[in-house]
Copies of this chain bind each other. A is one copy, B any other.
């Protein structure tokens, strides 16, 4: 039982959704120039910090995408030589995804423009003192799905 959202609450909700949408649109457009989708970029960025590679499920969870969606993207990226998939030695079920040198190179090529864009569209528009507040508040939002309710996780059926 929850009452209607107050004006401020509604505004906050809209602001979040709109800000997220706008940022996403801009980023997507820029990445497109490099032939990358957003998920692909996230894959590159995430794997760059994981020299040992990652399992598909773990990677999917980290990126908040479905496993099948990740498989699709991984196939595209592998065909382009950006990542390599290999079956794990210990667990024959598991597939480990790793960044190739080409993938790392592309990431390095894309990163500066990406950072500049995020700075221009997001960081530079938020008061530095407010930034920490925003970050902390949004972290609470991403925090694990609260008990009692059907967790809105990206779990596949």
Contact = CB atoms under 8 A, between A and B. Distances in A.
A17 B24 contact: yes
Interface in A124-141: 125-127, 130-141
A22 B131 contact: no
Interface centre among A116, A138, A141, A152 (most CB of B within 10 A): A138
Interface stretch (A2-10, A71-79, A96-104): A2-10
B5 A16 contact: no
A interface, by DSSP: helix, strand, loop or mixed? helix
B140 A5 contact: no
Taking the full assembly, how many copies of this chain does it contain?
A: 2
Interface stretch (A51-59, A80-88, A142-150): A142-150
A21 interface: yes
A140 B125 contact: yes
B141 A125 contact: yes
A126 B137 contact: yes
A134 B22 contact: no
Given A12-B134, A19-B138, 10 more contacts: A1-B116, A5-B115, A12-B126, A12-B135, A13-B118, A16-B138, A21-B64, A23-B141, A125-B140, A133-B137
